[in-house]
Amino acid sequence: MVRTGPPRLTGMGTRRVDPERRDRIIDAALALIAEEGVAGISHRKVAQRADVPLGSMTYHFEGMGELLREAFTRFAGTVSARFEERLAAARDLDEARAVVVDVIHHDDPVNPRDLVLTHELYTLAAREPAYRELTRAWMRRSRDILERHFDPATARQLDALIEGLIIHRALDTTPADRALTVDAVERITAGPVAGRRDGATGPAPAGLDALRARMLAGRMYDDTAAELVEARRRTVLLTDEYNASFGRPQADRERLLRRLLAAVGRDCHFEPTFRCEFGFNIRIGDNFYANFDCVMLDGGGITIGDDVLFGPRVGIYTANHAIDPAERAAGACYARPVVIGDRVWIGGDVTINQGVTIGAGSIVGSGSVVTKPVPSGVVAAGNPARVLREITDADRTGFRP
């Protein structure tokens, strides 16, 4: 008998093109975790829920650990995006407070899926470092979102309140009602009304924004204020993260810098270790390079132009303590801005004090202490730094890259 074609295999359908299969697996995993907990899921259950062959599980994920990390990363991102969208719509402090309350209570009655998923993630994070880092990143993003309306110290308190009450509502059969949450949020965000360091009564100044405005205006400020202490703590954590990222792709490192600094241009790079006081008063242009152990105390504001080079151990100090010893002991400080123009080269171990401007194209020699403005197009060096000579056409060597 002559076979005229391939045998027909009954019971087998045509293979589907399914580009969304991976996403369906992740969604199915989250649905099962919400229903049965992490302990109750398996490759077979997830494949059945996602309507995919069992082999797709190992094709798309190396193991259950990778699937769980992907699933919880998606969940955290979705919740954060929803939170960010709600807070972005708040036009004033009262509306921001209302959003915080809504986030805690979701849409009453309680949304069990999100509450259970949050609790499952926290339980995993308590045991395994990989999930702990995921929850830390989630908390950092939440605090960054809150800081658009509240100072860092208040944002941290609100973040803790949100997390704690969400867990409380997930576990307690008679959770606190909305009115108690409203009262808690109002207490946290009202600011101190008594016991201030200066002995005054009434509300304290309006948080970090008011202190930052005082610093940038060159007025005396309390360097020990809780808002500044918290801002410095956040900066230490971010600079630790940036310094630890050495060796990762430049794009990843620049994303970290943009979380830390007020403005960052293209191709900005600090060798480890980089330290700054706040970061939110630093603006850097394109093509910037700083060698090892750069320190910037940016209370008064630091602006750096394009194509600037720093040698090792450059320090920029915009802040100064009060001259009067009693005021100094009480925490009084003041700050002045530092501005560095385009194409400036700062040598190693240079100290730049507050209120200094360094003009475009200039060079400051290693070991110098800059206490006064440096004009454009000169070489300056010494302690205190002084102009040694101008940079002229005779300095050109004809080099072409």
Among candidates 245, 318, 244, 250, which has minimal Cα distance to 278? 318
Which amino acid appears at position 337 of this protein?
P
**Residue of 60, 106, 269, 321 marked catalytic:** 321
Interatomic CA distance for residues 305 and 361, integer angstroms: 10
Tell me 315's DSSP state: E
Cβ neighbours of 215 (radius 10 Å): 26
149 has catalytic annotation: no
Element (H, E) at 385: strand 385-390
Among candidates 92, 97, 87, 80, which has minimal Cα distance to 184? 97
Token digits of residue 342: 């385009």
319-321 β-sheet, strand order: 221-222, 332-335, 319-321
* Phi-psi group of 19: left, alpha or beta (phi > 0 → left; psi -120 to 50 → alpha; rest → beta): alpha
Nearest-10 crossing angle of helices 226-244, 152-171: 80
Among candidates 274, 17, 3, 150, which has minimal Cα distance to 162? 150
32 close to 45: Cβ distance less than 8 angstroms: yes
Token digits of residue 205: 């100044």
Cα atoms found within 13 Å of the Cα of residue 357, Cβ hemisphere only: 6
Helix boundaries (H) for 147-280: 152-171, 178-189, 207-216, 226-244, 250-260
Dihedral sign of CA atoms 222, 224, 226, 228 in order = positive
- Catalytic site positions: 321
